[in-house]
Each structure stands twice: as structure tokens, then as C-alpha cells.
Structure 1
Amino acid sequence: MNIQLFLIKKIKQTFIYAHIPIKYNANVQQSAKQKFGDYQINGIMAIAKQLNTHPYKLATKIANLLKLNDIAYKIEIAKPGFINIFLKPKWIAQQINEILSTSKLGISSVIPQTIIIDYSSPNMAKKMHIGHLRSTIIGDSTARTLSFLGHNIIRVNHIGDWGTQFGMIIAYIKQKKYNNNIYQEINIDKLEEFYTKAKAKYDKDLCFAKTARNYVVKLQNGDKNIREIWKKIIDVTLQENQKIYKRLNVTLTNDHIMGESAYHNMIPKIITDLKNKKLATINSGATVVYLDNLKNKKGKKMGVIIQKKDGSYLYTTTDLACVKYRSETLKADRIIYYIDYRQHQHLNQVWNIAQKAGYIHTHVSLEYHAFGMILDKNKQPFKTRSGKTIKLTELLDEGFKRAQNLISNKKLNMNSTNSKKLAHIISIGAIKYADLSKNRLTDYIFDWNKMLNFEGNTAPYIQYAFTRITSILENSKENKKCLIKEIELKNKQEILLALYILRFEETIITVAKKGIPHILCDYLYKLATIFSSFYECCPILKIKDKTIRHSRLQLSILTAKILKQGLNLLGIEITEKM
């Protein structure tokens, strides 16, 4: 049950009884401290100010009308105008009992939406680097969470596969006559070498630059030989990327690839349509769309070019076709973009044009989920000692080595295969959790020592908490199917753990709504710490009373299930031995 949503509905109903205008909303939050109850109604002071009444008086009126006798043993009014709600342990136990008898940990069903999530988007002809990490794992966690809730998720890995860089690389390959043995000679390292040398040549050699641009035209016009080389470049890059996704436990596959080339045939019709609708005009040979909110320093309208005078298209044109396709063909209700923060203005321009042209249905939610940078200890962009951008393969290899050393130092009794598997699970979990546990809007400092620590808010701490509970359940030697289903909550730590179990749904609803996995990380960490306190204060295996023992075992089972499910939503694996 979503207690927060339940209370919001109850309070909105109470507002009607209290003759508070319907435009005002109840602000229900989990209480920060236990002395303020389990939940707190905030925002009454702001409402009182609008209604020109005293906040304490209004809070008292609301509290007296609030019908929560079935679930709360106390409703407390705190000055200047807060309402604190203390839930009945018996009611909390009833909700836990319901969870035990349902699937999906009691998560309520949703009205399914079609949600498109655009994330990762690595560069072609290059290895993925650390700059792709945040988009990839935050986007994947959001996709997992929304899918778990029951929405129809369309994952999209949008790649730039149609631009100038391909003309440069193909021109270089042709010039160096690599084309004779192209399928044997090209790998990702070669492609990076080709790109670097081709870019240098493109910037200095006008003849080479012209040849490269001509190859782009040939590519887009379907030249068989050029398309063959282009496809090889794409295939080699995607194979390399898929290795990274597999290591990172990311759900993207090649089936989710949608390159710029996929929208190429739509673009001429869009250009014609925008002209017919008087949204696009010709200026100095280029096709331009002027937007009311886009102005230069002098306050004059600026135009967004959608077709150059030589007939070529820009990223804006492709992204316009892309959002049109997602709205009209894929029937999206919500489109979420996890791309570089520098693309925000560009996206807004695309959305503005699309909305003016009627390409996006009015109900569609367009969302840009920004994310900060990964920094080193000096708060500079995280790079190698030589100043180069860190490749993801290098980062993951380093994490694996450090995890292996950690396991070796702990002198765990396991064979080489199991040791390597554990090192993989720990290292990938640590890297992902370190990122996902930070607010995506902020930068964060990459610190190997912190992320691989078994203390504090880290993946190893939560993974270990799961294995600890698994061990408790194994040592109990109880048949889970034979456990008494009725939960009894008498001890303070039992109540606190049960209440926090109930807050799982509230947590993932917030994550799904805002795309902020750090809320889930905070929840899992606190759940693990609360369980630790519960285990210390509430004997499980040694207690003779069967009802109490079974009740505490059920709480332990639920905690383990939520830790496992929560980590899964983050794309982090668990292990039963650690």
C-alpha cells in the first residue's frame, strides 16, 4: 500500500469538509524524526496565509475533521501549523500481512502508459568512455523501475550514424585502400585511429574535406559500396558497446538501436510540411524556422536552420523527425531524454517546433532529465593521468582488480571461478551504486575507496546485508511455506522495520515520476541499517515463541526480497555468499 497516497486522498477529502478551496493540495511527507510521528501534513501555513486565517487554528480544524481512527492512534497538532500522524502498529501489521499474500511486494497496479526512454547514445567509431556512464545507468534504472510498475517501456539507444564523421572515416579508408580487406582489418581500435587521423586531415586538407562531404551524400543516397563500409563501422562499434552493456548489467540490446538514418526518409516531407504551414521560410538559401522565444542579444528573433542551402540536414531536423515518430507512430504518452546537459536548449527548440507543427499530441509529456559530471578528487573532470578521457573498459577493469584485491585481503574460502564472479558483482555494483546514489542533477567525486567500502551507503554494504539475511533464513531451517502468516508488532524495532517495508512503494513511485534513483538508494541503505538494528534488538533464531519467531522471520524475508528487488531496479546483482 502507498500510505502517502492514501493519506493524501483522506486529507483532500477533509479539505472539502473544512471548506478549503479545491485548488489547495495536501502536502504529506514522511516525518524526519520519530517524535513527530510517522507522517506529517505540511503546507498548512501557506494555505492559512492565502485564506487569511491563523495556521494553528486551521491545522486544528483539519485535524478534528480528519477521519483516521482506523489507522492512527494519535493525531498531533504542532505549532505553528503542522499535523503529525502516528500510525497504529496493528494497522501496520495488517498491511504487512496483505503484502505477504500478494505478488510484486504489494505494489499497486498502474494504468499502463507507453513510455519512451532515450539513453546511452554512444558515439560511433569510438569506444564508450566515462562520459556515457551516467546516461546509460540512470536511464536503465528508470526503465527498469517503470517497467516493474507495469508501464510499456520502449528503450531507445539513439545514435548518430548519418553525419560528417562517417564521410571522414570512409574517405580515409578509401584513401589508405583499407577497403580491399575491410572485414578483416577493421576493429574498434582501428576505427578510433582512423577517426583521429581523418579528423586531423579534414581540418587541414580542403580537398580531403570535400571528398568526405561527397561520401556523406553518397551514403545518404544509398551508394552500395559506401553503405557496405558504413555498415561495417556501425556493426563493429555496436559489438563493442554490447560487451560494455553486458558487463554493466544494462538491459540495452541492438534491438533498441535507432540511428539518425532511421528517420532520413521522413525529413523531406517534414521540410515541405513546415513550409506549407508557414512555419519555415527561406533565408539566404537555407530553410529556417523562427521561434518567438529565441532571440539574439539585440532582442531580434533568431532562426533555427533545418536545411542548409546545399540541401543537407542538421541534428535539429533529425531530432524533429525523431520526436514526431515517437509521438505519432510509437504513440508515446511520455518521452524521457537522458542526454548531455548541453543539449537542453537544442531539445527545447526541437520540441517547440514540433509542438507548433502539431507533431506532438497534447497529452505527451516531454522530459529532459539532466545529470551532472563525474569529477576527480580535485573537482576536475575525471580523466587519466595523461589527461585523456577514461574508457569504460579501463574503468571496469580497474574496478574488477580492486574488488579482487579486496576479496583476497579478506581471505575468503572460495575457488578462482567463484572469486572472479564475486569480484565482478562487487565491482560493477560499486561503480553503478556510487553514481546512482548521487542526485543526478549534481556533479560527484569518483572515489574508489568509498565505493568499495563495506560500511556506509555503498553497494557492498547493501549486498552484504542481503547475504546476511539469507544466512539467517538458512540457519533457521524453517520451511518458508509453513511459516505463520500473521505478523505481530510489539517491539519498537519491529514496528520501525515494518513501517519502512511499507514505504517501498512510495519510494519507487517517486523514482518513476522524477527519474531520480538516488531516492531508491537512500531507501535501501536505510532499510538495511534498520534491519541491522532490528536483528540486534529482536532475537529471531533463539526465541522459543513460534508466533514471534515466525513473525520476525517473515519481516526478514520481506526485507531480503525488497533489497533484492531494489538492487535489481538499479541494475545491481546480488550474491548469496559474500
Structure 2
Amino acid sequence: MLSLPSLLSERVQAAAGIDPELRPATRPQFGHFQTNVALRLANAEGRPPREVAARLVEQIDLSDLCEPLEIAGPGFINLRLRADVLAGAASQVLAEPDAGIARAPQPRTVVVDYSSPNVAKQMHVGHLRSTIIGDCFTRVLRAQGHTVIPQNHIGDWGRQFGMLVEQILEEGLDASALDLPAAEALYQRANSHLKESEEFADRARERVVLLQAGDAETRRIWQQLIEVSLAGFNQTYRRMNVLLTDADIAGESLYNADLPVVADDLADRGIAAVDDGALVVFTDGFPAPAIIRNAHGGFGYTCTDLAAIRYRVGTLHANRLIYVVGAPQAYHFEQVFAVATRAGYLPSEVSAEFVGFGQVLGADGKKFSTREGTAVTLNSLLDAAEQEAAPSIALAAIKYADLSNGLQKDYVFDAERMVATTGDTGPYLQYAHARVNQILRKAEAEGIGFGAVTVLAEPAEQSLALLLSRFGEVVAQVGDTLQPHRLCGYLYELAGALSSFYEQCPVLKSEGEVRASRLALCASTRKVLAIGLGLLGIEAPDRM
């Protein structure tokens, strides 16, 4: 469903032949929108702007949407939507289960790769943004009717497991009895041991060979470490209200058997060649080749990511791939996509998008880390926010601060500012929802009913109704552009329009049809706030 502003723009452009560049009117007496299209056409046609404006007003057919168009000043055209049209749009939002979110005309199967923590390590600040952003994409795309398959590409394979298993055996530990912090402490001990003892390092390398060969004891301990880690990850995911489950796990180990297949395929077809002992692919536009297999016979991240693309396209039948990974990985994924395209693993009908994000910074504007210089754990960040507010409010603060920021930008983690219930924050939007819910609760307690929006005489009522009509289109934009700050900005604007409406239009103190209509407008706004916050992964509380 096109929003009212988009419908207006489409109709004016049909008559004018160019984008009318509609702008909200600066004052209510000028209507709802203005366009300077006549002035731009007059310059090209060499005619007076008001003459061109008069011609356009005759040609533009908006009688079903607008009051008669007006020409102002040197040739601006003012457009005022009819009150009944605005009322109908607000009522439609209330009547539709999804508040006007349009179903995608051609639903796709979308893989979203996000979160991706490492086994035997706690999630840290670096996983915060990937998890929040990927979860938002999953929610938005599902709301549009796409089939979304999250892929949590955990680090569950590699050389580190040699030292981990060897350290467990040396200490006589039961790996299944560990929790995630204890597993991380084990990792640190094993890493120190590896650096201090060449004999231990040799045993760790031999253990990796046993792991790769399928040795029963090694695989059993490896599996225990994974299960311990997943228990810790899931606890954090529940705390963060994200949708990831064990069913979404697709770790590095999943592609292990396919790595030599990919390497042989690329070599056999002449796409990859041996260079200085390593199997590499030279790709135009990249200063260094993509390393498929190193000189020691080991497969790197490039080969794993190529195998993942083959699996996601060939087995999961995805036709859109989205990678939510830190911005520094952009080069790697651009090169992977280029090799995958050349190899035919990524056909032209499948899109692959890298969504890089900036860093979370401390109050000093530097990379967020502990005094020891290590990464801050994700749970400790949540703890810091919960010292300022209740868990659901603290989480709203963190998620909104993350998503309302342009994804590429770094942002400062300031818990005290983020939990404020005034200004552009998540708790402010939660408060707006709770406040409108309180009005509707009072009306219900007093037995005051309502149906549709019917009376929109005041500018504040009309502004609110107009914003409500845009919700579905904003969600569609986020699904297309993968820019969640657009939805955040829209919801903040909606909450501000709701506040202006309260100040200028009494609800419960009004009477008759006006009161019933204003209650319906409140109910439409509550619905959009609740669904919109839900798409951000934020709870919409009934009370605050």
C-alpha cells in the first residue's frame, strides 16, 4: 500500500513529467504539502512560473485525495489532503492486522548471517551490533512475507580446539560441567600454556589432526565445549530478546567436508591456481589474491565462506544473502562475492549484501574495552544499562541507540543518556506507547466505545493520521535498503506527533463523535508503535 505522500507524488509526477519533490508545508494554512515543480519547469520552458502552475493545477487529477489545489507566491503549488481521506487511512491502519505493512509482491528466501560468536568464549561488545541488527532484519523481512533463514555462523572449528581439548585432558576436567565463563578461562589458560611450552604446542597440533580425523574422544570433548557454549549464548539471546535458537546454528564445522571440494572445483576449472605453494584466485579490482588453501594445506575463511554460499544457495535455496558483520570485513566479503560470482556459486538472480557496522565506543570516544584492554563482555554491557533502568527499558535503550544510528557510524555507549524517557531514545517510544495505552484503558473502564476515525478537524489530528499512513511504506524501505534508522526516525516522529495531538486535542474530555474518533486515532497510533517497536526487537509496555 502506497502512503498518501507517495500517491500524491506519483500523481503530480504523471502530469509534470519530473519528480515534484514534495515537501511538508511550513504552516497549516499552506495545506499538507508544497511543490516547486512549476518554478523548475518554468525555467526550462521559458514561461512565467504561475502560468505553468496554473496549467499543472488543471492537469493534475487529485480530486479523490485532495481539496482543490492552490497556487501560492511565485508559483508554488499547495496540496491539502481531504479530511475524510486522512480519516480513512488512519482507520485502515486500525483495521488491518499488520497496520498496513505490505506483503512483498515476490517473496524471497533470505539468509541473514549474524551474531556468530566463538565457542569457548563469551560474547563481547563486538557481537552486540551484529546480533541486534541481524535480529531486526529478520523481523522486518518476515513481516513482509519473506522466508527468512537466520544463520549463526559460530566459530566451532579450527586450531584452537587442539589446545582446548589437550588442556582439558591435562587438567582432568569434565568439559560438560563448565559454564561459558569457565570455558573462556580455560581458553586463556590453554593459550598461555601454548605460548610457554613447545611440547604442549606439539600435542595441541596433534590433537587438531585427531579432531579432523574424527577421533572419538576428541570429538566428544569438542561437542561438550559446543554445548556448554550454546547454553551460554542462548541465555544471552533470551536476555536480549532476539529470535536466534539452536536451529539457526550453522558453524564453520558444517562446511568442513566441502572445503576440499570447493578447492578442487576451483582448481579443476582453472579459476584457482597455485602461487608460491598456495591455491589462490586472482580477481580484478583486488590488490591481493583470495587464498583458498594456504601453502601448508590449511583452508582459510575465504574457502569456508565460499562453501557457505554454495550451501545457502544450493541447499537452502536462498535468493538473497545478507551478511551483518563489522565494517572492517568489507574487503573480505567483496572478494568472496567476486570469486563466488565467477565460479557460478552466486548466480545473477541471487543478491549478496554485506551490511557492515561501526564500533561501540566508550565514554572517552575510544574503542570500548576493559582497563586491561580486553573486549567488554556483552552481559556486562547489559548489566551496566540495567543499573540505570529496568531490564526491558535498558534493553530498549541499547537496541534503539544501536539501530537509530546509521549502521556505518560508531556510537558512544552512554547508558545514562540512552535510558532517558525524553529525547530520541527507546524508552521515550516505550513511554509514548504506555501513555496512549493509559488513555484507552481509562476509556474502556468508563465504558466509552469507539469505532473508526471519522472527524479530523484539527491540524494535529491530521498530522498524526498522515504519519500513520506512511508506516507500511517505511517498513518496506527498511526491507529494501537494510537501514533500520529509517524506522527509528519514523517512530520518533510519530511519538512527537502523538504528543502534539495530546496537547492540542483533548481526548477523554471531548464528546460524542469527536471523542470516539480521537480514541480510534489513539488506538491506531498504539498499534503502529507496538508493531514498529516489535520490528526493532523492543517491548511495547502497557504501563511505565
Aligned to 1:366: 352
Letter of the aligned partner of 1:71 in structure 2?
L
Please say if residues 443 and 449 of structure 2, whose CA atoms lie closer than 8 Å, have aligned partners that are also in contact: no
Aligned to 1:418: none
Aligned to 2:91: 97
Please say if residues 360 and 368 of structure 2, whose CA atoms lie closer than 8 Å, have aligned partners that are also in contact: yes
Displacement, 1:280?
0.9
Are residues 1:183 and 2:149 paired? no
Aligned to 2:306: 320
Q: 1:308 aligns with which of 279, 282, 294?
A: 294
Measure, in 2, the Cα distance between the counterparts of 1:439 and 1:125: 32
Gaps of 5+ in 2: none
Please say if residues 32 and 81 of structure 2, whose CA atoms lie closer than 8 Å, have aligned partners that are also in contact: yes
Residues 135-163 of structure 1: per-residue CA shift (max 9 Å, x gap): 11111111111111211111111112111
Are residues 1:107 and 2:101 paired? yes
Measure, in 1, the Cα distance between the counterparts of 2:169 and 2:23: 64
Please say if residues 425 and 574 of structure 1, whose CA atoms lie closer than 8 Å, have aligned partners that are also in contact: no
Displacement, 1:198?
2.4
Measure, in 1, the Cα distance between the counterparts of 2:314 and 2:73: 52
Are residues 1:274 and 2:266 paired? yes
Residues 143-184 of structure 1: per-residue CA shift (max 9 Å, x gap): 111111211111111112111221221232233343xx3333
Displacement, 1:57?
9.3
Gaps of 5+ in 1: 21-25, 296-301, 404-422
Please say if residues 466 and 574 of structure 1, whose CA atoms lie closer than 8 Å, have aligned partners that are also in contact: yes
Are residues 1:379 and 2:380 paired? no
Q: 2:243 aligns with which of 246, 251, 262?
A: 251
Displacement, 1:74?
5.4
Q: 2:336 aligns with which of 343, 346, 350?
A: 350
**1:557 alignment partner, SS class:** helix
Letter of the aligned partner of 2:386 in structure 1?
F
TM-score (norm 2): 0.91
Measure, in 1, the Cα distance between the counterparts of 2:41 and 2:183: 62
Measure, in 2, the Cα distance between the counterparts of 1:325 and 1:234: 22
Displacement, 1:218?
2.1
Letter of the aligned partner of 2:417 in structure 1?
K
Are residues 1:154 and 2:149 paired? yes
Gap change, CA 1:374 and 1:547, over 3 Å in 2: same
Measure, in 2, the Cα distance between the counterparts of 1:48 and 1:135: 50
Residues 461-500 of structure 1: per-residue CA shift (max 9 Å, x gap): 2212211111111211379995232521111111111111
Q: 1:286 aligns with which of 269, 275, 278?
A: 278
Aligned to 2:536: 570
Task: Summarize the alignment of residues 111-190 of structure 1 with structure 2, pairs less than 5 Å apart.
Answer: 111=105, 112-178=107-173, 181-184=174-177, 186-190=178-182
- Point out which structure has higher relative CO (alpha carbons under 8 A, 6+ apart): 2
Measure, in 2, the Cα distance between the counterparts of 1:131 and 1:43: 47
Letter of the aligned partner of 1:256 in structure 2?
D
Task: Summarize the alignment of residues 77-88 of structure 1 with structure 2, pairs less than 5 Å apart.
Answer: 85-88=79-82
Q: 1:232 aligns with which of 218, 224, 235?
A: 224
Residues 274-298 of structure 1: per-residue CA shift (max 9 Å, x gap): 1222101122332111112122xxx
Are residues 1:332 and 2:325 paired? no
Aligned to 1:298: none
Residues 224-282 of structure 1: per-residue CA shift (max 9 Å, x gap): 11111111111111110111110110111111110111112222222221122210112
Please say if residues 116 and 332 of structure 1, whose CA atoms lie closer than 8 Å, have aligned partners that are also in contact: yes
TM-score (norm 1): 0.86
- How many residues get paired? 540
Measure, in 1, the Cα distance between the counterparts of 2:363 and 2:56: 51
Measure, in 1, the Cα distance between the counterparts of 2:70 and 2:481: 31
Measure, in 1, the Cα distance between the counterparts of 2:225 and 2:58: 70
**1:384 alignment partner, SS class:** coil
Please say if residues 109 and 150 of structure 1, whose CA atoms lie closer than 8 Å, have aligned partners that are also in contact: yes
Measure, in 2, the Cα distance between the counterparts of 1:54 and 1:314: 66
Please say if residues 28 and 39 of structure 1, whose CA atoms lie closer than 8 Å, have aligned partners that are also in contact: no
Q: 1:542 aligns with which of 505, 509, 520?
A: 509
Aligned to 1:2: 2
Please say if residues 44 and 55 of structure 1, whose CA atoms lie closer than 8 Å, have aligned partners that are also in contact: no
Please say if residues 266 and 272 of structure 2, whose CA atoms lie closer than 8 Å, have aligned partners that are also in contact: yes
Task: Summarize the alignment of residues 398-417 of structure 1 with structure 2, pairs less than 5 Å apart.
Answer: 398-403=384-389
Which stretch of the first structure deviates more once superposed, 550-559 or 73-82? Answer: 73-82
Please say if residues 328 and 356 of structure 2, whose CA atoms lie closer than 8 Å, have aligned partners that are also in contact: no
- Alpha-carbon RMSD across the aligned residues, in angstroms, is 2.9
Letter of the aligned partner of 2:113 in structure 1?
D
Gap change, CA 1:5 and 1:221, over 3 Å in 2: farther
Measure, in 2, the Cα distance between the counterparts of 1:12 and 1:147: 32
Which stretch of the first structure deviates more once superposed, 35-44 or 101-110? Answer: 35-44
Letter of the aligned partner of 1:333 in structure 2?
N
Displacement, 1:430?
1.6
Identity of aligned residues (%): 39
Aligned to 1:531: 498
Displacement, 1:443?
1.0
Aligned to 2:418: 451
Measure, in 1, the Cα distance between the counterparts of 2:119 and 2:396: 27
**1:389 alignment partner, SS class:** coil
Aligned to 2:523: 557
Measure, in 1, the Cα distance between the counterparts of 2:313 and 2:236: 30
Aligned to 1:407: none
Aligned to 1:413: none
Please say if residues 290 and 303 of structure 1, whose CA atoms lie closer than 8 Å, have aligned partners that are also in contact: yes
Gap change, CA 1:509 and 1:209, over 3 Å in 2: same
Measure, in 2, the Cα distance between the counterparts of 1:40 and 1:193: 63
Displacement, 1:368?
1.0
Please say if residues 71 and 87 of structure 1, whose CA atoms lie closer than 8 Å, have aligned partners that are also in contact: yes
Aligned to 2:428: 461
Gap change, CA 1:95 and 1:183, over 3 Å in 2: closer
